[in-house]
Chains A and B, each alone.
Chain A
Amino acid sequence: MKKVIVLISLGILGFYLIDIFLGIGFGVPHFTNGVKDLYLSNSKDTLKVSNVVTAIVVNFRGFDTLGEVTVLFLASTALGGILYKKRHHVGERSVLFPASQVVMSGAKLLFPSIVLLGAYVFIHGHLSPGGGFQGGTIIATGFLLMLLTYRNYSVSHNRLVYFESLAGILFVSIGLVGYFSKGSFLENVLPVGNMNELFSGGVIGIIYIAVGFKVAAELTGIIYTVLHEKD
């Protein structure tokens, strides 16, 4: 009985996959020429974004970015679920070598500038190289420095989950606003402004800020969970 159900569902899946692939129409001019010219001209003229990579990642291929963020979220959740029962209490983390005074002062000095650099990278994602993922990773590196240096430094897990959920909801709701008003997911709904200005590119800046917060919260959660695993 189980095998029959599996076979039937596999057959349905295969049928629809073949149906979709036959409907794509490989070999038509749209495919052979590629979409690179369309992307380049659209990001320059329509969106007024100077960093074409950002325009592709967030706007033209924004749905894929949502998938990537979801993969990261699932990985972080699964890690937390696996390691949850073995967690230390706050302040009981075992460190191999206690950090010296120099490292402690240096970390305290470096932490705000690392977070500032990360915030700069994801706020200016549509103007300069970088973006939400890179900026979020840089911020997580700053938290890693503090967690490694101070033995009883702790990050509120509830606050991380709060930031992460809020950023994810913001991303999806901006996408849905584009869907309902313009007809496709993550379509630009805001005025685009002038090229090379901070307030340009429509929704790209807001989405990258959301992605930056989400990635930073997820990676910090992963590091925190791994560091607090009892051995």
Chain B
Amino acid sequence: MIYIILTLTLLLLMIASAVYAIWQKDLLYAVIASGILSLFLSIVFLILQAPDVALTEAAIGVALTTIIFIIAIRNTVRFEDEHDKKNVKTTTK
């Protein structure tokens, strides 16, 4: 029973972070949110007794993919539109 509740909570959190990643205009925050989605997904894999997949998801989904996206953002632009960046201090070079 507790596993069902835990799984459902994690799934809801996954959906929430996915929606946040879509709605967020700041691409850096969106990438971090998709990394958090991968983290929850790896916990779900662990609960569903697939520890091999959970390890892969934690290493690739949370660390490597996020970092490669962040490098891509650093080398391109951080915002989808120009007028979104008025609230945040620009950190582009």
Contacts and interface: CB of A to CB of B under 8 A. Distances in A.
Contacts of A219: 64
A11 interface: no
Nearest to A147: B67
Contacts of A82: none
B55 interface: yes
A144 B52 contact: no
A96 B71 contact: no
Interface in A91-110: 94, 96
B60 interface: yes
A15 B74 CA distance: 50
Contacts of A226: 68, 71
Given A137-B59, A141-B64, A144-B67, A96 B74 contact: yes
B8 interface: no
A50 interface: no
Nearest to A97: B91
Given A137-B60, A219-B64, A94 B52 contact: no
Interface in A106-164: 121, 129-131, 133-134, 137-138, 140-141, 144, 148
Nearest to A138: B59
B63 A141 contact: yes
Interface residues of A, number: 22
Contact size range, B: 10 to 19
Contacts of B52: 51, 53, 129-131, 134
A130 B59 CA distance: 11
A195 interface: no
Nearest to B67: A144
A219 B56 CA distance: 13
Contacts of B64: 137, 140-141, 144, 219, 223
A134 B51 CA distance: 11
B75 interface: yes
Contacts of A148: 67
17 contacts: A51-B52, A96-B91, A129-B55, A130-B51, A130-B55, A134-B55, A137-B56, A137-B64, A140-B64, A141-B59, A144-B64, A219-B64, A223-B67, A226-B68, A226-B71, A227-B71, A231-B75
Interface of A: 51, 53, 94, 96, 121, 129-131, 133-134, 137-138, 140-141, 144, 148, 219, 223, 226-227, 229, 231
Given A121-B55, A130-B51, 20 more contacts: A53-B52, A94-B93, A96-B91, A129-B52, A129-B54, A129-B55, A130-B55, A134-B52, A134-B55, A140-B64, A141-B59, A141-B63, A144-B64, A144-B67, A148-B67, A219-B64, A223-B64, A223-B67, A226-B68, A231-B74
